[in-house]
Amino acid sequence: MTGLFSEVFLSALLFGAVTAAIPLLLAGLGEQMSEKAGVLNIGIEGMMLAGAYLGFVGAFYSGSLWLGFLTGAAGGMAVALVMALLCVRIGLNQIVIGIALTLGLEGLTALLHHFQFSRSYPRLPAPNPTVIPTLADIPVIGPAFFKHHLIVYLAVALVVAMGYLYRRTQLGLNLQAAGDKPAALDVAGIDVIRTRTIAVLSTGALAGLGGAYLANVGAGLFIPFITNGAGFLGIVLAMLARGRPVWVLFGALLFGVCLSLTTAMQVAGINIPTDVIQMLPFLAVMMMLVLFGRRASLPAALGIPYERGAR
């Protein structure tokens, strides 16, 4: 038990938490954008799977992790394109299409994996971390937070960029209006369909990137159903965050710590079913909702000024 809380263990735990949090963060940020624009994107799990598969294929055959991220984002975007055509342009039911896309990509990626990789289960080489000088030398925190692949820092920077996008740019306001009062946006002379399409396609790219990170950096290989509900967690995070990118980050880290704790306990050989720990983040969030439900519903009403700004 003494080894359990050693410095090495703690920094490995936190390192794992960040690695587990990044796909959730990207999915959550993506979903947030769709929801802001008024599209409930249940197909995000499918977009992540497409990104994970194509991201792995891209990285495996080209040998470049970055090309893998690119193909992954493109894969997520391709699925999002279907979603945008069916749900935004011709207005089919978002839940039906979203679930159908998720089911279809679960099947399709598992099928392709079976014919391509199931005999060899190839792995990617471990990614080269970008070590941030000085900061990485801090004990515990340094190796946990400042020795990641470059894309991790970019993902965190994206949180700031998204916050800027929503608060300070015309596009951000348009997105908000497309979700709050599309008719008003239309009257203002801005194409609601186009705004929502942009949002859904961005969601696809972010979810695909998240999936590619999960496969290429997190696991180093693609296995069927690798996302294992990460997309649905993204939906939960986006809804809990109430339109604020920074809350998606906090939420993703909370879930990341719990996911990392599950692996750490398996390694340490502690005899509790991992399911117990998997329940922790959900329990925490449900408790928060039960205790602060009323208070948490306040920001929803505070969303109105955005609508006025769009007018």
Which residue type does 254 have? L
Give the shortest CB-60-to-another protein separation in angstroms: 19
Distance between CA atoms of residues 132 and 152, nearest Å: 12
CA atoms within 13 A on the CB side of 301: 5
64 vs 297, beta carbon nearer another protein: 297
DSSP codes, 99-166: HHHHHHHHHHHHHHHHHHTTTT---PPPPPPEEPTTGGGSTTHHHHHSEE-HHHHHHHHHHHHHHHHH
* CA-closest candidate to residue 128, choices 66, 72, 191: 66
145 vs 222, beta carbon nearer another protein: 222
DSSP 8-state symbol, 217:
I
Give the shortest CB-204-to-another protein separation in angstroms: 16
14 vs 180, beta carbon nearer another protein: 180
61 vs 282, beta carbon nearer another protein: 282
Which residues here bind another protein, judged by CB under 8 A? 40, 86, 90-93, 95-97, 99-108, 110-112, 114-115, 224, 229, 232-233, 235-236, 239-240, 273, 275-276, 278-279, 282-283, 285-286, 289-290, 293-294, 296-297
DSSP 8-state symbol, 188:
T
Which residue type does 201 have? L
- Biggest alpha carbon–alpha carbon distance for the chain: 66
165 vs 233, beta carbon nearer another protein: 233
174 vs 227, beta carbon nearer another protein: 227
